[in-house]
Chains A and B, each alone.
Chain A
């Protein structure tokens, strides 16, 4: 799951406890990867608060980012983030939006070699960075890439997803609902799910949209974010049941386009 905006609640105790319940629902439904960034305001602090309350579940796969223009600040920022999460080391550290990626990646490679982090990667949520993104994938030994992919924004199907698959790089998908707008748009317009959605275990639009994403052979996981327990439960439903095959994916796309 992602934490952009949703976990940035500052020192508000009421909302911190609310978000703890969301995280608890995530773990209870089999979730593992939690992603954050120093850019997300107080999200890291709130995650640390929630994880302490939940006793740092073993299944947690902790993913954070390095987000600073100062290429010498990689270790310091990673240590600062780890303190906020109340964890000794992250499973994954990513260079956020390719900001000063060259020095950061160099340091992350050294940290990985020294066992200070398990995996490293890069992220983007902007199509204009795709060329540079591709160049970094080609020239560096990355474990993960994080990019935007959803039923509308499918540019990455052309080059980035096949490249990641070819190089054996895991893919995390951000903005699966376009910041929530996609689900809200469909629900506001009262668009029905196709009659055959139940055949692939989709009982609501979030599940339909998430299954489309995670059924791409190059995709490892998606990180939707939410502030509500019931939405978390809906989202996590996509992790169960059958995954659509290539033919069903085409059918899903055709149906969405027909709306």
Chain B
């Protein structure tokens, strides 16, 4: 449910950007979302549709998932982590993800 506050922050950041870079409408907003950023894509899309207003009124939201990495503490295998915890595909040991908590706007398509 904190996706609502993230969308409000998105709105605030884009409005500040619009004032600085002189645009009035955003056609598309592209964000990067880490796979362990504790954000549900579905909730974020729903929140975006519910909360956005003004210059985000007709905006499409593109979410790029950024996977976290993890190293198995037992066998050293490198894994792509789509969740905070995964079993090592080599030896089955539990791996905790590193990084993958980014949530940022990377591009805007504006008019």
Partners in one complex: no
